[in-house]
Structure 1
Amino acid sequence: MKIDNAVVLVTSAGSRVGGTLATHFSSLGAKVILCDTDKRLLNETYERCALLNSDTYRFDVEDYSIASIKQLFELIEHQLQCSPDILINTLTSKAVPNIFDHAAYDMFSLNLTSLASALFGFGQATAQRMRAENKCGVIVNVIGYTNYEDMAGFDNASSFVSGFTQSWAKELTPFNIRVGGVIPSGEANGQNWSEIQDEVIRNTEYIISNEYFSGRVMAA
């Protein structure tokens, strides 16, 4: 797929990994649509992207519930008269609570539920539109983290990305929709993000550009 002619939706665009990828694809000339629940971080990413490409748009969402995601896509279609050709489905791993913490079960369940629902919700909404419009689209699931402590939840996030990527690829291949995943090295931490961001960018761009890539996860 030619990125400079594509409509790219970047979720959690205010996060470190989302902002990194949004800035890169803006520099390549794509129409980039940014969304996040954090208005301040979303605006920071938008300002960086807009300096590189005027064809950049932002939408803040209340949360990543199915209702909010549905409303987001309706706004995009109404205001921009388009839908994504490429979904950069970014998520941030969260630290696993201490097993001896009395609130550990509720916290762990909430973290996993929010992680899975966001990943699945955006993937489903995008795939439905790609199929309805007969698009040869691409979905790339990418993991990020905010600090070293979050690496404790990295395995959980990696499992979600690997599982969804493989199962979605099987379902969507008949509709010419490809799915890939990018997982930064588990040995990395917040202090050396600059050392791995180039690999995250390179792998994500490779998945999008390689028409034969689907159903696999690349390590950055």
Structure 2
Amino acid sequence: MDIKTAVILVTSAGSQIGSTLAQHFVSLGATVILCDKKTPQLSQTYQQCSTISDQVFQFTLNDHSLASIQALFSFIDKNVKRSPDVLINALTAEAMPNIFDQRASDLFTQRLSLMAATLFTFGQATAERMCQEKKNGVIVNVIAYADYQDLSGFDNATSMVAGFTQSWAKELTPFNIRVGGVVPAAQHHDSHWAEIQDELIRNTEYIVSNDYFSGRVMAA
């Protein structure tokens, strides 16, 4: 896919990983839509991207429900005049509780459910739209961590991304929609965030631009 002519939707654009990816694709010439819940960080991401290009749009989500995502697509139709060619499904994974924690069951379920629901809802809504419009689209599920000193949720998040990526690719390949995933490699937990971030960006860009990549997860 030619990134310069692509419309790219970036979720969790107020997060560190979402903001970084958004600025990178804006710098490559893409039209970028930023979405997240209302936070100062989302506004900051929009301001930073706007200094690079005027082809940047932001939408504030009330929540991650299907109704809110449909409102997002209505906003895109009205303001961008084209639906997304690429979904960067960005998410910051939280650490998981210790198995001996008395609150572990409820907290684990809440965090895992939120992560799964967020990834799935955006992926489903975007895939349906791409299929309707017969787009040769791309979905990239990207996971980062808030604290690289605590990777207690690493296996859970990686397994989820791998599962979604592989199953979606099988379902969407007949519709010419590619799906890829990018996760930090476990052995890099002591590396500086900037190094991990650079690899996440490079791998995400590679998946978007490589027309033969689908159904696999890259470790950064």
**What is the TM-score normalised by the length of structure 2?**
0.95
| AA of the residue aligned to 1:179 | V
| AA of the residue aligned to 2:196 | I
Residue matched to 2:117:
117
Displacement of 1:99: 2.3
Identity of paired residues, percent?
60
Gaps of 5+ in 2: none
Residue matched to 2:146:
146
> What is the SS of the residue equivalent to 1:148?
coil
Displacement of 1:69: 1.8
Q: How does 1:77-156 map to 2 (within 5 A)?
A: 77-148=77-148, 150-156=150-156
> What is the SS of the residue equivalent to 2:192?
helix
Q: Deviations 1:170-197 (Å, cap 9, x if unpaired)?
A: 0000000000011111233487110122
Distance 1:49 1:189, change over 3 A: farther
Aligned partners of 2:38 and 2:145: how far apart in 1?
16
Aligned partners of 2:148 and 2:31: how far apart in 1?
33
Residue matched to 1:34:
34
1:174 aligns with 2:185: no
Residue matched to 1:67:
67
Aligned partners of 1:150 and 1:49: how far apart in 2?
30
- Equivalent pairs, count: 220
Q: Deviations 1:118-147 (Å, cap 9, x if unpaired)?
A: 000000111001010010000000001111
Greater percentage in helix: 1
Aligned partners of 1:55 and 1:186: how far apart in 2?
36
Q: Give RMSD over aligned pairs.
A: 1.4
Residue matched to 1:163:
163
| AA of the residue aligned to 1:146 | A
Displacement of 1:65: 2.1
Report if aligned partners of 1:93, 1:151 keep a CA contact under 8 Å in 2: no
Q: Deviations 1:178-219 (Å, cap 9, x if unpaired)?
A: 000111112334871101222111111111111111001111
> What is the SS of the residue equivalent to 2:51?
helix
> What is the SS of the residue equivalent to 1:98?
coil
Residue matched to 1:212:
212
Judge which range, 33-42 or 128-137, deviates more: 33-42
Aligned partners of 1:143 and 1:133: how far apart in 2?
28
Aligned partners of 1:127 and 1:10: how far apart in 2?
14
Displacement of 1:20: 0.9
> What is the SS of the residue equivalent to 2:186?
coil
Aligned partners of 2:214 and 2:2: how far apart in 1?
17
Aligned partners of 1:187 and 1:11: how far apart in 2?
26
| AA of the residue aligned to 2:169 | A
| AA of the residue aligned to 2:162 | S
